[in-house]
Amino acid sequence: MAMYAYFVLTRQEYVYPDARDRQYLLFFHKGVKRTRFDIEKYNKLKDDIAEVELDLKRLRDPLQLQLPVQQLTASKN
């Protein structure tokens, strides 16, 4: 019954992770309005952090370094 009421109010299927995220966003935006938080700057900083973390992950991954392949030579002794 509660899930049907959620669907009627939100027009979204009740899936716990989605419902939790929706509630968090409602709470977050309500707090943003109250404290006059600059959400555009926050989102820009979060995007920059994600980009830098992706670059670090790429740089640390040896397969992503794209170094030339070294040919192994078999020595005949």
Entry pTM: 0.51
Q: How many helices (H) and strands (E) does the chain have?
A: 3, 0
Provide the CA 13 distance to its chain's centre, in angstroms.
22
Mean pLDDT across the chain, nearest whole number? Answer: 82
Break the chain into its structural domains and give their ranges.
2-61
Output the six-digit token pair for 37: 């938080």
Select the more confidently predicted residue: 63 or 35.
35
Whether residue 14 contacts residue 6, with contact meaning beta carbons closer than 8 Å, is answered with: yes
Residue 5 has pLDDT above 90, yes or no: no
